[in-house]
Structure 1
């Protein structure tokens, strides 16, 4: 990476990058790691972990050039953090605080003036993942539904509000509230909403491509009822094959 970033002899593209321009690639590579895991593709996972590691090296190199820190510092910091957050493993064997308590103490030490229970939840997270984290933080201080039935009722309430929304802005707001409530339902069922939606995407794509294969080039011209019949046929075939 030092050679790639060399102003005279490096790669012009690599030299031109900064933290902001590389950040989207870092996020993309993390998702590709998750995709390889979901597909149980070990060869792919090895490749994607390398791509993700490159992102860490890239950011660290740019920071080193700026005189802030280098890759060695990054590794040292995470090692220290893991030791600090696992006193039951690296400590003297006595009673120790839990992970959440240790993280809360670390946030308090930073004392950036934000003492909210929601402090530190990254704004740049995907909206679905951030919604879940916000809800978990709120739940820690008692702001949570008592049971799953209350969450279901909230979803029904939000669906009703969507149906009565007037105007694009109001509709956007109400659909956002609905998605937030659905995320809450997933959390109460201990289901990761990001993973659930990703798998739903995979299932939809698989079934849609099967429909296209069944109909061939005539698929776009089919009436909706005929397309729906193909969809049901694909679902029935998957069910008979033991795949839901």
Structure 2
């Protein structure tokens, strides 16, 4: 492993390169906080993919891309004296010290749940009027639901036992079925949302990350379906000309390889 001195030298090298690119590269000179935003979101998703694939080489590369974006934002901020990379680092350091009184103060905690609860209480003391203020509006709905539930649980608004949450899931499914029978489209959508919300909540109780779980299922389905396509092609068949029963034969075979 490299020493702390070598770590700092590597970071300093990146800062020097960023300074030079901002001064000399036509593309880098043109960028703004707004123009980089969608690229940062894309890089974050690419990092997420690499993590789910357990591709550590790609994780390293994607972390580098994100680090570049952080340095880039800080460089742009420094040009108007709004903030620089030192302000960014000191800001998060100050926050971590303040939000961890069980490490840097005299507060005692039993477990990670108490750490989360203290974190949310401290945020309210810092001036936030709602524990939900920290949930970004632009988060994908599934991730947002998960964060909302974590936030309110942090201040004690939560179920006591997993079976209670699962009972709620079943209750919401029953209500969805009732609205489907009535044929009320607006109510069906509302109840379907309630089912998803309750399932995401249950995932938290059984220690499952719903976003990761769904994405792994997405990947599994893609792999199985592409296996089906390739197998059919080898047989000289087109999926559009096959019956569902014929396709199911290949689908069952795909489960051997992609579980």
Per the TM superposition, whether the score is higher than 0.5 is yes
TM bucket, shorter chain = 0.7 to 0.9
- 1:172-187 correspondence runs (5 A): 172-187=189-204
CA distance in structure 2 between the aligned counterparts of 1:143 and 1:45, rounded to whole angstroms: 36
How far the C-alpha of 1:131 sits from its partner, in A, is: 1.0
CA distance in structure 2 between the aligned counterparts of 1:230 and 1:11, rounded to whole angstroms: 52
Unmatched runs of 5 consecutive residues or more in structure 2: 1-17
Residue 70 (structure 1) aligned to one of 70, 76, 84: 84
Structure-2 change in CA distance of 1:169 and 1:198 (3 Å)? same
Unmatched runs of 5 consecutive residues or more in structure 1: none
Residues 120 and 151, structure 2, Cα contact 8 Å, conserved in 1: no
Residue 50 (structure 2) aligned to one of 25, 28, 36: 36
Determine if the alignment matches structure 1 residue 201 to structure 2 residue 218: yes
Structure-2 change in CA distance of 1:21 and 1:56 (3 Å)? same
Q: What TM-score comes out, normalization by structure 1 length?
A: 0.81
Alignment RMSD: 2.6
How far the C-alpha of 1:197 sits from its partner, in A, is: 1.0
The residue aligned with 2:4 is none
- 1:113-152 correspondence runs (5 A): 114=129, 116-152=130-166
Q: What TM-score comes out, normalization by structure 2 length?
A: 0.76
Determine if the alignment matches structure 1 residue 226 to structure 2 residue 226: no
> What SS is found at the alignment partner of 2:134?
coil
Structure-2 change in CA distance of 1:143 and 1:159 (3 Å)? same
Residues 142 and 211, structure 2, Cα contact 8 Å, conserved in 1: yes
Structure-2 change in CA distance of 1:175 and 1:66 (3 Å)? farther
